[in-house]
Every structure is written in C-alpha cells, then in structure tokens.
Structure 1
Amino acid sequence: MKNVIVLIETSTGWGSGMVRGIGTYLDECGEPWNVFLEPRGKFEPLRIPKGWNGDGVIARVNNEELAQDILDAGIPCVNVSWYDFGPGVIARCTLDEEESGRLAARYYLEKKYTNFAYCGSHWRPTFYDDLFGRAYAQYLQSAGFECHIHTASGMSPEQPWIEQIRLLGEWLLTLPKPCAILAIDTQTSRQLIEAAKYVGLGVPDAVAVLAGEYDELASGITRPKLSMLDNAAQSVGYQAAHLLDRILHGEADGSEVVTISPTRVISEQSTDWTVLPDERLVAALRFLRDNFHRPIQVTDLAEHAGTSRRLLEQLFDRFLDVSPSKQIMMVRLDMAKQLLDRSVLPIADIAARCGFDSPEVMCRAFRREITMSPSEYRRSRRAQ
C-alpha cells in the first residue's frame, strides 16, 4: 500500500473539491493508497509533518519552505497550485490560468461591457507571476478595451480590515462606470463588494464583481451572491492523483505538466447585469437565469419582459445575435455541464434539474451543440 500525503486547504470549495476528485480517482482505479489528510486553512503555511515518511505527495506548493521539504526528501510530488516551484522536478497539475483569464474576459464581453478592471490580492507574495490577470487584460486589450489594474500595492494582510476596505473603495471610485471587475480569488471579491457598499456604489449596476475561483460557501454568504469562475477542482484533483499514480509506477516524472481547461462562469447576482440598451431584454435574461429549471417557453420570457414574442425575438436577434429559444437551451446546457463536471448525479436527475423535458432531449442537445453525449462529456472532463 502506497502512503500518500495530501497538503491542500480543506476550508474552501476549491480544496474540498480537489479532495473529492482524488477520492473519485482512487474509487475508479482501485489503488490501495493510504492517504494522510488533515484540516487546513486557506492561508495556513503548508509543510510536510515531521516524521512523516511516505511514497508521494499531492500538494498546493505555495511557499519555498514546502518546496524545499519536497526536494530534500526526494518524494514524488504533484503540485496543484499556480506557483511554479521546482520546475522539472516537481510535477504540476493545475487549471489553465491563462485560459481562465480569457474565459472571464469573454464572459464580460458577452454582457456588452466596455469598462473593465482587474484586482489582484495582497495575500500573494511579490514574486508571484499573475498570468491569470495578465491574460484577462491582454484579451480585453486585443478586443480594443482598456483594463484598469489594481495590484494591491500599499495593502497588506496586517492592515485592519476597514483600512483595506477603504483603500479598495477609493480605487473603485476612480473606475469608469459601469465597470466589470475580475478578482483573483473569493477573498478579494468579497472585499470588493464590501468596499463598493462602503463608498455607496451598487453591485452589480455600478460595478460587477467576478471571483477567479470557485467557493460555493463564500458565494452563498455574500450579498449580493458572488459570481465565480468554475475552476474544475474535482477534475484537477482527479488528474493530479492519476499523474502521481503514473509517477509512482515509473510512467512519468517530475517534468510532467498537466493543465485542465476551465469550465465556465457560474453567474450569480454580483454580475447580474448586462449592458444592453433595452430593459425589456435585460428583464427577459434575468427571468431566464432564475427560472431555466422550470418548463418555461419563449412566451414566458416575453410576458415577463412586458412585450410581444415577435418583438422579443427581434431584440434578441439585434443585440445578442441569438434566438430566445436557443438562449434558453444554452443556459440549460451550461448548467448541465456544471453538474456533470462537479457532481455524480445520474443523467436523468441532471436533465430534470436543468429544465429539459427528458434525458433524451438533453442528450440530443449535447450531441447537436458539442458533438458528444452527456456521459461522454463527463468522461472527457475527468480525462483532461
């Protein structure tokens, strides 16, 4: 039996999802690993416990001390963080941070924003190379838009909370409105929302806030609820375990790098704003977001928007270049993808939760739009 230690924070949705993914791999591959796992906080320094002597490590290698522990011990390790410690020696399995930044940019561009900003974190060390924020800004610049950057300089974790909020609030006031803001993590996103309240700015009508990581608990406790990038934690955990297993069997080494594509944005109230010139269209989109799981039709959208079906179709065609019926289907399909990626629910249950008339209808939509069945999609996500 292999002894493997998992050094990942368990206090966040990202960390707990990662652990679930590791467990799913062990269930499927039948490997008899003895896994050492302790509760960990997000900002807790991670180290290999003294006296532990095992065969492999899966860790969020986010500090030099932990990286040196691993290198000194000569233990095979898979790093699941965006920090690149021990390149060529410590293997990596992470979410594609640059594609994640581009995904966030596309999300906001589809909402017709023209003002954009990015907020880094004062919790990150000064040497951290923020490829995520850079990719977001570069994608927007390539589309012809400026991205205002807050590097968190002048802020530190040691500052009182209210002082951090005040500084962020002052920055928010300088931004052109309405502004679409991407934050590096949920902690920073929640601070931005509090800062907006502090200086009297509405969220999302003045500033929209999107978190660069997934944490269902953090979103649920935030008002308005926090939109987040679904960072495929279970897929990363699954593939990290697979990579470590290959290393332990001599089929890979520390030079291996596996990147997982981001899934999608989970929209909640903090980005519930589409910069469109017609409020009827905005009302229809909000109604769809809140009711896609019900058996709604295009006529329901039109009734909620206070217009005729024909006029609503014209508005969708003019400003969104899509029909209302296609939009309903795409919203349901996006939620189905999330559930396939993040849960073990049966296909029939997912179809019902997403508003499809039957599993067969959902299967036809998957094959038509992404050329694979729901089951094939689920397997492809785990195989990334």
Structure 2
Amino acid sequence: MSRAQTAHRIALLFNANKIYDREIITGIGAYLSSTRVAWDLFLEEDFLCRLDGIEHWQGDGIIADFDDPAVCESLRRSPLPVVAVGGSYEDERDYPLGLPYVATDNFKLVRLAYDHLIEAGLQRFALYSLPTAQGNRWAQEREKAFRRLLARDGFPIEIYQGLATSAPGWNSSVEQLIAWLEGLPKPVGIIAVTDARARQLMQACLMAGISVPQEVALIGIDNDPLARTLTRIPLSSVIQGAEEMGRTAAHLLHQMLGGVRLPATRILVPPVGINVLASSQHEALNSPYVMRARHYIRQYACQGIKTEQVADYVGVSRSSLEGYFRRELHCTVHQEILRFKLDHACALLADHDLSSAEIAIRCGFTSPQYMHAVFKRELGCTPREYQERQQSTPTLATRTQ
C-alpha cells in the first residue's frame, strides 16, 4: 500500500511568524524524523493560522496553539483527536477540559530570568508585560509568577503593561514607556515577557540615554535571533523548551491515533536555559563616566570606534577617562572596546556558519589577521579552533541552567 494511502493527515494550527510557534513546529518535525511516522501535514503557506472551515476539515488529527482563544473555541467540539499546546496556568480551571495539554512552564520561565538578575547583584526588579486581553493570557500568567516571586522575597512589585503595538500609537507608546523607565529607581533589572517587548525596552533606553545594563539590566523570553539582530546591545533571553513541546505533542497525538485515550494528560515543559549576553551583565560601578562610556562602547564597539570618540561622548578628556577606567575596571578604554568586540566574535562563531572574514567585518576588526592575533593572544586559540571547541561541548543554553 502506498504512503499516500496510509499517511495520517494532521493539521498544525500555529502562527509560525512567531519564533515560539516555529520551534514547536520544528519539534514536531524532529519527532516525525526520529520515528519515521507517516503524517501528511497541513500548515498554511504564509504561516498564519486560519480557522475558517476547520470544523469541516477531513483529516485525522490536530495539534493546535490553545493560547489563541479563537482556536480554543473552534476546536471545542472537534470530533478529531486534538492535542493542545500553550502556556501553563496558576488556576487549574483555566486549562481546556478533556484534552491532552502540553504547556510551557510560565512560572519557571520568569523564575529563571529573576534568579539571573538576582545573581547579577540587583535588588530592584520590574516586569514589562502586555495589556490584559484574552489573547495575552500567557503574559498575565507571567505577571502572576513575577508577583509570587517578589512577594516571597519581600521586594516591591513593579509591573508595566504598556500599550499594544500599533503604527498609529507607536510614538505615544514609546513616550509612555520612557516615562515609566525614567521613573524607576536605578539600577533595576527588568524582565520582558517576550524578546519583542525587550527590544522595545532597549530602544526606549537608548532614546532616553539610560545605560544598559548599568542602570537597566534587560532580559527577554524566547531567544529570538531576529530580536538580537535588531538590537545594538546583544539581548539576554530565556530559552523556552518549545522544540521539546513540539516533540511531546507529536508523541501524544501519535498515541491517540493508535487508540490510546489521553483525555486528562497535562505536561509542563521547563525552559532550556538562558542565553546570557550584554543586556543583563550588570556590574556595580561607582563612576558615572565609566558607566556612560561602557553604554556607548556596547552600542558602537563593532563599528570601529576609538578611545577619543568614547571620551568625546562622555564629555571628559581622554586621560581622565583612562584614569577612571584603570581605577574602576583595571583596564584601558581600548581594552574594553576590544573585549566587547571579542565577545561578539565568539558569539557569532558559536551560533553562525560565517567566514572569519565576515565575522571580522561585523565585529569591527581591521582584518581577519588582526582578529586571529587577538584570539591567539586573549584566548590561546584561533577563531576556527574556538568554533570547533564550541561545537564539541554542551551549548550555552545547557551551561547556563
């Protein structure tokens, strides 16, 4: 019998424009590859989840994003086997009835980000969330987690939901966000409920001249490579276990298609770890000149800036700034610029399949040969040796759990 006659037809109802949804779909694909399960998958070509007529779809099973209220309603009486995927809930009554449910653990996501900021030496915290809405229930669950953690430790609770993102309201949204940031006591660690919200925070800080991470240390959730590309200061982020969620959901549906009944199964998937980058690497500094200089260096080191440009930005002489750096950081301004360029090069080598020449250009080195010399001097290896070492050891996500 041919594959076309034996394959199950499975609908994936996700908005794959989002990194979280894409990783769930990736996990489903990984399960199919590892088990050789024969499924024909239905997924919209433009990656948007459309529900029109889904109740009449002539398929065999569905895996769907139940964070979307419209999906919940459309599939409430589906005669097909359905596996729900979504966020975890503090109140058990908020889970859909009668369906197997695979959830990202919202409490553990926020706790991991919070513990990271605690370890950075911070004692003030805030959360940047989303407006209360049915479609944002997962964000409100992250607010609840934040409240529980800070109440437990006796810290004041500061949550800002802001406005929904829209072109007409963008200017007003940024102005209000800046006003909120300026009103926070500093230094402060801020958790954003997504990397997209963290990127907005980053932009607002840069527009307002607020130093990141010295005054505001930022961490998002999703580990979205697009968000990292669009921020001048590399963004720290909690890595969700979305691929594992996809694999688990596919496994559950596979069982259901084989006749296993799983009406009350609920599985919470913890985060993988944190991708720790510059935005949350807070260090307590006494000199406002060093703080301001490092803020400038984090933004422009890879554009080939020199010590004189940093001093001009700070508004002091080069010799004075060098003195502040030696007393506070025990290094020169040039060494700090070079350290940041080296850190960025290491991140690119670990995460991207780029040539040494391209990495040298992106990181502001004058030539691949100079970058090679810096690696040998500072790390005792060549860029290629560093890359091979990273590929043969556990990932950053595993090491930062």
* Normalised TM-score (structure 2): 0.66
Aligned residues: 304
1:174 aligned partner: 183
Decide which moves more: 233-242 or 87-96: 87-96
1:6 aligns to 2:8 (yes or no): no
Map 1:56-67 → 2, pairs under 5 A: 56-67=61-72
* 1:205-257 deviation per Cα after TM superposition (whole angstroms, max 9, x unaligned): 22122112221122222222221110022111111111211222232423211
1:132 aligns to 2:135 (yes or no): no
SS of alignment partner, residue 87 of structure 1: coil
1:149 aligns to 2:133 (yes or no): no
TM-fit CA distance, 1:123: 7.6
| Structure 2 CA distance for aligned equivalents of residues 269 and 46 of structure 1 | 39
TM-fit CA distance, 1:131: 2.4
Q: Which amino acid aligns with 1:21?
A: G
Distance 1:137-1:212 versus aligned 2 partners, 3 A rule: farther
Q: Which amino acid aligns with 1:72?
A: R
Distance 1:136-1:277 versus aligned 2 partners, 3 A rule: farther
Larger-gyration structure (1/2):
2
| Structure 2 CA distance for aligned equivalents of residues 40 and 234 of structure 1 | 21
Q: Is the 8 A contact 1:113 1:274 kept in 2?
A: no
SS of alignment partner, residue 222 of structure 2: coil
| Structure 2 CA distance for aligned equivalents of residues 56 and 197 of structure 1 | 48
Q: Is the 8 A contact 2:13 2:49 kept in 1?
A: no
Residue of structure 2 aligned with 1:249, choices 238, 250, 258: 258
Q: Which amino acid aligns with 1:55?
A: D
TM-fit CA distance, 1:111: 0.5
1:47 aligns to 2:51 (yes or no): yes
1:194 aligned partner: 203
1:262 aligned partner: 271
Q: Is the 8 A contact 1:3 1:36 kept in 2?
A: yes
Distance 1:354-1:162 versus aligned 2 partners, 3 A rule: farther
| Structure 1 CA distance for aligned equivalents of residues 218 and 45 of structure 2 | 29
| Structure 1 CA distance for aligned equivalents of residues 217 and 77 of structure 2 | 45
Q: Is the 8 A contact 2:177 2:201 kept in 1?
A: yes
* 1:257-306 deviation per Cα after TM superposition (whole angstroms, max 9, x unaligned): 11111111111222132347799xxx9xx9xxxxxxxxxxxxxxxxxx64
| Structure 2 CA distance for aligned equivalents of residues 127 and 19 of structure 1 | 21
Q: Is the 8 A contact 1:243 1:252 kept in 2?
A: no
SS of alignment partner, residue 196 of structure 1: helix
Residue of structure 1 aligned with 2:240, choices 224, 231, 240: 231
SS of alignment partner, residue 259 of structure 2: coil
TM-fit CA distance, 1:157: 4.0
Residue of structure 2 aligned with 1:32, choices 33, 38, 42: 38
* 1:323-373 deviation per Cα after TM superposition (whole angstroms, max 9, x unaligned): xxxxxxxxx9xx99x99xxxxxxxxxxx964847x95xx5xxx8xxxxxxx
* 1:297-326 deviation per Cα after TM superposition (whole angstroms, max 9, x unaligned): xxxxxxxx648xxxxxxxxxxxxxxxxxxx
Decide which moves more: 172-181 or 191-200: 191-200
SS of alignment partner, residue 117 of structure 1: strand
Q: Is the 8 A contact 2:188 2:217 kept in 1?
A: yes
1:116 aligns to 2:125 (yes or no): yes
Q: Is the 8 A contact 1:98 1:135 kept in 2?
A: yes
| Structure 2 CA distance for aligned equivalents of residues 38 and 202 of structure 1 | 42
| Structure 2 CA distance for aligned equivalents of residues 28 and 209 of structure 1 | 37
Distance 1:212-1:173 versus aligned 2 partners, 3 A rule: same
SS of alignment partner, residue 38 of structure 2: coil
| Structure 2 CA distance for aligned equivalents of residues 276 and 141 of structure 1 | 28
Q: Is the 8 A contact 1:7 1:60 kept in 2?
A: yes
1:73 aligns to 2:78 (yes or no): yes
Q: Is the 8 A contact 2:60 2:80 kept in 1?
A: yes
| Structure 2 CA distance for aligned equivalents of residues 223 and 189 of structure 1 | 12
Percent sequence identity is: 24
* 1:75-134 deviation per Cα after TM superposition (whole angstroms, max 9, x unaligned): 222222227776222321122111111111111111010110001113843882622232
SS of alignment partner, residue 128 of structure 1: helix
| Structure 2 CA distance for aligned equivalents of residues 136 and 171 of structure 1 | 18
| Structure 1 CA distance for aligned equivalents of residues 387 and 286 of structure 2 | 32
TM-fit CA distance, 1:175: 0.7
| Structure 2 CA distance for aligned equivalents of residues 49 and 217 of structure 1 | 33
SS of alignment partner, residue 268 of structure 2: strand
2:361 aligned partner: none
TM-fit CA distance, 1:195: 1.7
* Normalised TM-score (structure 1): 0.68
Distance 1:170-1:126 versus aligned 2 partners, 3 A rule: farther
| Structure 2 CA distance for aligned equivalents of residues 69 and 175 of structure 1 | 43
Gaps in structure 1 of 5+ consecutive residues: 287-304, 308-331, 340-350, 367-373
| Structure 1 CA distance for aligned equivalents of residues 34 and 10 of structure 2 | 17
* 1:135-170 deviation per Cα after TM superposition (whole angstroms, max 9, x unaligned): 233223323422311133xx3445521111111111
Q: Which amino acid aligns with 2:35?
A: C
